[in-house]
Amino acid sequence: MSLVRKTITTATEWHTVLASLPLAHPLQSWVWGQFKSRWGWTMEAVAYQENAHGPTVAAALILKRKIPYTPFSLWYTPKGPVVDYENSTLRTAILADLQSYARRSGAIALKIDPDVAQAEGSDEIEPLPLGTNFISELKTAGWQLSNEQIQFRNTVFIDLDMAESEIMKKWKQKTRYNTRLAVKKGVTVRAGTADDFPLIYQLYAETAERDNFLIRPEAYYLDIWRAFYDAGMCLPHIAEYEGEPLAAVITVTYGDLALYMYGASNGKERNRMPTYQLQWEAMKWAKSQGCTIYDMWGAPDKFNEDDRMWGVWRFKKGYQGRVAHHIGAWDYPVRPFLYRLYTELLPRYVAFLRRNNDE
């Protein structure tokens, strides 16, 4: 297959490119690339045509992180590349070109993380031929399942392409009950503005402390939230009781997809079920924006009580969405020795130094 790779230099042209392709994701957007470029990465947006005058058939937003004191870098295309993965000839050609391009450009490794499912389901898991075949192809081509799964590997998709009553009808009875109970118990949900982002961060920080997970500095979240908001790609929703904020979500949209990307709560008034009404308002807003899919952004790696996301899963399970087990993040060691040095040997050395300093 003859492909022509072209670097895109404007947000408008990149948006046009992604709009013509399937499976475009917010993390492949120009907004995300520009945001990451303010936090230690550089970005390059490349599009592929069948020939110099042919249609665009694929695209990849490439994030590059320089390795200090070396001429090398790490490459990552989050939730990409964007291509019709059903077309095996095309997907193979695109990855081959990215591998070659990375080698010539000083990368030690290239990471991809496409939204390709290898199985579906939670109670009964059904393998999917596309994902299974694609994994086999990646292994044959020298790719390795990454030790660093940056994004959630599994997630839950809610179908919004139906009437609101039909969407709710698919939920479990308890989820419908709790959503209606929140309204009866005085919970109100309002659409927020950029002025609410500092408040949402405080809720997020309380969530992190309560649930024992690490978060980044406030400036990081305010930066991306405002960038998405200014681009018309997100809207915050805030649940309140008698004027007091209880919980919030930030929903990000791109094309047909709505992504429940950030959620936070202070744990107060849980008996009023504010998070249920919050999710429903976010779904309705996403539907009003023309989105047909609502991604609940995360599901367990293993569907048992030992998984760190089991508590979150019990909540999400009530929405009866489609559980997708994605193939995950895969690394191509462009320079195998340097890749192993950076990903395996160097972390072990740093851990050794820390242990000795602690003793």
Residue spans per domain, the chain: 4-114+328-358, 156-325
pLDDT of residue 2: 82
Instruction: Quote the radius of gyration of the chain (alpha carbons, Å).
Output: 21
CA 265 to chain centre: 21
Is the previous residue joined to 81 through a cis bond, with omega within 30 degrees of 0? yes
pLDDT of residue 123: 86
Which pTM value belongs to this model? Answer: 0.93
pLDDT of residue 23: 85
Q: What is the spatial order of strands in the sheet that 154-159 belongs to?
A: 126-127, 117-120, 322-326, 154-159, 293-295, 257-265, 244-254, 234-241, 187-191
| Number of Cβ within a 10 Å radius of residue 79 | 23
Q: Is the CATH number of domain 4-114+328-358 3.40.50.1100?
A: no
Tell me the CATH class for 156-325: alpha beta
28 CB-near residues (< 8 Å, 6+ apart): 18, 59, 60, 61, 77, 78, 79, 80, 82
CB 77 within 8 A of CB 97: no
| Number of Cβ within a 10 Å radius of residue 165 | 7
> Is it true that 4-114+328-358 and 156-325 share their CATH fold?
yes
pLDDT of residue 353: 44
Q: What is the mean pLDDT of each run of 10 residues along the chain (359 residues)?
A: 92 96 95 98 97 92 94 96 96 97 97 96 94 97 95 96 97 98 98 98 95 93 98 98 97 97 95 97 98 96 90 95 97 95 70 52
- DSSP symbol at 141: T
- Cα dihedral sign for 242, 247, 252, 253? negative
- First-to-last alpha carbon distance for the chain, in angstroms, is 58
Residue with tokens 């309560």: 210
